[in-house]
Structure 1
Amino acid sequence: METDCTRDEVPVTGALTPLPAGTRLLHIGPHKTGTTSIQGALFAAKEEMARHGVDFPATTRHPMEAVLAACARPGMMGNTEPTERHWERLLDQVHATGGRTSVISSEFFADAPDDETIGRIVEQLGGDRVHVLVTLRPLARIMPSQWQQYVQNGLRMGYEDWLRHMLKKPPYEKPNPSFWRRHRHDRLVERWARVAGPERVTVVVVDDRDKGGLMRTFEALLGLPADLLQPVPDTANRSLTLAETEMLRNLNKEFRASELPEELYSQLVRYGAVMHMKNACTPGPDDVKISTPQWAVEAAAEIGAEMAGRIGTMGVRVLGDPTLLSAVPKPPERTAAKPVIAPEVAAHALYGALAAAAAAPIRHTASAKTRTVHQTSSKELVKVLCHRCLKRLRRR
């Protein structure tokens, strides 16, 4: 369904007209709105898209470092610091597409801090050739996914406590000030429309019941054949169960308490324990999912209604049903099951951390002279291991 917000008309249904040839479609997310799925599909189909006159200029599925640098944002905890050179390389790839249509996608564009940054991004990517695409989902569906993603980046706060901070404790900036910058969707759309112009902004309300709907929308806007874009299985991007998230959250507490270097978190925890656990373990029907309390669902729906109303007055094009943003989902059936980590899941997580440590062997280390391993406390052993891994990582 397409809503033309420039006129007071009833929404109409019909085929979308492709964007003009030579458009640079800039998909800015935000997070948890189908971004990983569409990025995987675009990257997998880049050669076939090129045959139809559409380029995907990035050399990876998601040029995260480049976009973080453009938005003056730090990298994820322990990751390589983004630099301007990352952004310049992406710009070179975009400019190499010449007058052809192209598409760039990163949810981190939603983190652009101000109009000046947005203006620079739009101008450097092509000025009036840029068409901004924003994908939206209901807050009630975004919140649990975003919380567990923050936990994967070191957050130590429990879900309900985090919800109270985001929804009940102004100014709603702790512990994650990025949440409302990304997910106060009306203000996000307003910022980009103010710079790019409302006529060059399209908002897509994602309907989770239509699994291929977002793919078909991208195909229509880019003038691609139907069904060219297909989902790419990505177990590494699956959401964590409640038990897995709680295990990681408690690990984060121990990690912070030990004052260990952040590089080790990236290497051993995020890309070691968590990544291997995601790839090796598929949640079953008995695994407890992250459940949002009803008070928070209703608060999110109220904010969603306000955001949809404001977006409808901005003159941008809206595709999909804006009322989905304020829908209150049916409360899940209560379960007596407790979030418990299965032994094999814990084993895979531990193995992932050990494998990551083994991938960074330490050379030229002196042997202990006065104490054996068994005479050394576990806390000291962890610090020694981490120090050695860190030395190896820095050499690499």
Structure 2
Amino acid sequence: MTKEQFTETRPKLAPIPPESVLLHVGMPKSGTTAIQFSAAKLRPELLQHGVRYPGTGHNHSLASFAVARKRRGWQSGAGRLPIVPMEHWNSLVTEISEDPGNRIFVSHEYFAERSIDVGSKIVSDIPRGVHVVFTIRNQPSLLSSAWQEYLKSGATETIDEWLEIVLNGAPHKHGYPSFARRSNLSENVSKWAALVGPENVTVVVLDKKDRGLLNRSFEQLLALPQGFFERAKLSGRQENRSMTRIEADLVRAANSRIVETPGLDWATFRDFHKFGAVFSLLRDRVPPKDESRIMPDRWALELMAQRAREHALQIESLGVTVVGDLANVYALPHDSGVRQPPTTNVPIDLAAQVEFGAFVAAQKWRAKQALSGKDFARFEPLATATRSAGSQAASTDEMQIALTQALGGVPTLALGRYLASRAVRSATRRLRRRVR
């Protein structure tokens, strides 16, 4: 495949005008989690530099779902999940309106895929100028990352089964339509360019050879000092690191049992499995360097590259500002021919980490339940953190610290791992039977 010579923006980006809004709309799996956690961790420092990161959570997902009148997560059993209340969007708009002197930074990766009508409402509701920024990654490599994200939300398909569904339209009860929306790069960029004008859209193309490009671009757009976001010192979870093949196979095997539970609801799955077991794995485990990565079949990589090349050509024609080389959007990975067989054995330490993550999540759940009971005084530090950090506080460092202080009677890390190890032997046997 011939590599076109795209126009590449190398000079320093001009900051957005003072008192305007930088709306980071996505795309998913393109450094969004890292930039969001960095901004959340450095919220006070941002304000000192004339930038407000509204709210208290690590991103603005609730506002994104609310303005689109969407539900978050799935449900099994009685009733559907409620639509996220509009108050979350209204609260964001109010905070923007009440701070006329600073630049405002808003970020969530699902803004990109919102309909033109929802996008129009977003732009009209925000009471000042809006500059939209996209972050886009290499699309062939997106396949394995996207599959992992669906695993975190309960998917049970192998990567080969999933690829047949999203690329070849294989029959499936859900079909993963969100993947089609999120990989339609040119349509998303074109839509937002029509809403705010191409001169107010920046597309940052990630580059493995220039790891600092992402932070640097946001620092320039927000008139921040170079190296500002590096101060955040993110963990593996906050950087949203990729799973290895063995980790992904373990999560998929667990999903296949968990989602069969009668009456399972999204909140339970999210709190105990996704935000407990899986995020503990990503936050605390450092995989060995020789642990195999996830690699799709070559036919899928080539098909995704072909589609991405077409999107890159269309984006080039829109007149938006492009940072980086659009050819990186469709380049094939150098090791695209290397594949590993499915995992059949799970290391004890890996199973123990997952078990321990679920164990800690259960302790946190008990602490939250106690807030409304007779032991409220014991959990006052947690209650204070909850009040100050808001509805998304469970994902913040402040909440983690408060939980540690509140759970004075909870076993230590070493004891917790000891208790978890009691279940490892039987769990490992089950996983060996189920992992294919």
TM-score by length of structure 2 reads: 0.75
Q: Hey, what does 1:36 align to over in structure 2?
A: 33
1:122-201 pair list within 5 angstroms: 122-126=123-127, 129-169=129-169, 174-201=174-201
Matched residue SS, 2:112: helix
**How far does residue 308 in structure 1 lie from its aligned partner after superposition?**
0.6
Q: Aligned letter for 1:105?
A: S
Do the aligned residues in 2 keep the contact of 1:166 with 1:172 (CA within 8 Å)? no
**Residue 271 of structure 1 corresponds to which residue in structure 2?**
275
Number of aligned positions between the proteins: 355
* Mapping 1:84-95, distance limit 5 Å: 84-95=86-97
Residues 1-396 of structure 1: matches in 2 within 5 Å?
A: 11=8, 13-77=10-74, 82-112=84-114, 114-126=115-127, 129-169=129-169, 174-230=174-230, 232-236=233-237, 237-262=240-265, 263-331=267-335, 334=338, 339=343, 340-361=345-366
Q: Which moved more, 1:306-315 or 1:252-261?
A: 252-261
Q: Deviations over 1:159-184 (max 9, x none)?
A: 11111222222899952111121121
Q: Secondary structure at the match of 2:242?
A: coil
Q: Distance in 1 between the 2:171 and 2:198 partners?
A: 29
Which residue in 2 is equivalent to 1:384?
A: none
Q: Say which SS state the counterpart of residue 132 (structure 2) adopts.
A: strand
Quick one: which amino acid aligns to residue 122 of structure 1?
A: V
AA at the equivalent of 1:223? A
Q: Matched residues in 1 for 2:225 and 2:173: separation?
A: 43
Q: Is the 8 A contact 1:58 1:104 kept in 2?
A: no
Measure, in 2, the Cα distance between the counterparts of 1:305 and 1:278: 32
Please name the residue that 2:404 is paired with. Answer: none
Query: Aligned partners of 2:277 and 2:340: how far apart in 1?
Result: 28
Q: Which residue is equivalent to 1:373? A: none
CA distance in 2, matches of 1:211, 1:123: 35
Runs of 5+ unmatched residues, structure 2: 76-80, 374-436
Equivalents in 2 of 1:170, 1:343: separation in Å? Answer: 36
C-alpha change, 1:215 and 1:280, in structure 2 (3 Å) is closer
Amino acid corresponding to residue 24 of structure 2 in structure 1: H
* Cα displacement (A) at 1:286: 2.8
- Which amino acid in 2 is paired with 1:267? D
Separation in structure 1 between the aligned mates of residue 145 and residue 291 of structure 2, nearest angstrom: 16
2:259 match: secondary structure? helix
Cα shift at 1:346: 0.7
Secondary structure of 1:211's match? coil
Work out the CA distance in 2 between the residues paired with 1:9 and 1:280. 40
Report what 1:387 is aligned to.
Answer: none
- CA drift at 1:50: 2.2
- Percent identity over paired residues: 30
Deviation at 1:359, TM superposition (A): 4.2
Contact 2:138 2:328 in 1 (8 A): yes
Alpha-carbon deviation of 1:131?
0.6
Residue 321 of structure 1 aligns with an amino acid whose one-letter code is D
Report the counterpart of residue 423 of structure 2 in structure 1: none
Give the match for residue 367 of structure 1: none
Q: CA deviation at 1:335?
A: 6.7
**Could you tell me how far apart the structure 1 residues matched to 2:73 and 2:142 are?**
19
Task: Tell me which amino acid in the other structure corresponds to 1:26.
Answer: L
In the alignment, the residues of structure 2 paired with residue 33 and residue 310 of structure 1 have an alpha-carbon distance, to the nearest angstrom, of: 19
After TM superposition, give the deviation of residue 360 of structure 1 in Å.
4.1
SS of residue in 2 equivalent to 1:191? helix
Distance (Å, rounded) in 2 between the aligned partners of 1:336 and 1:274: 22
CA drift at 1:96 = 2.1
Contact conserved, 1:199 with 1:317, CA < 8 A, in 2? Answer: yes
Deviation at 1:33, TM superposition (A): 0.6
Report Cα offsets for 1:363-388 as digits up to 9, x if no partner. 99xxxxxxxxxxxxxxxxxxxxxxxx
1:227 offset after TM fit, Å? 1.4
What amino acid sits opposite 1:33 in the alignment? S
Q: Structure 2 vs 1, CA of residues 195 and 333 (structure 1 numbering), >3 Å: closer, same or farther?
A: closer
Decide whether aligned partners of structure 1 residues 91 and 343 sit closer, same or farther in structure 2, where only a CA change above 3 A counts.
Answer: same
1:118-143 CA distance string (max 9 Å, x none): 1011111235x001111111111221
Q: For the residues of structure 2 that align with 1:86 and 1:325, how far apart are their CA atoms? A: 34
Q: For the structure 1 residues 13 and 344, does the alpha-carbon distance in structure 2 shift closer, same or farther, using more than 3 Å as the test? A: closer
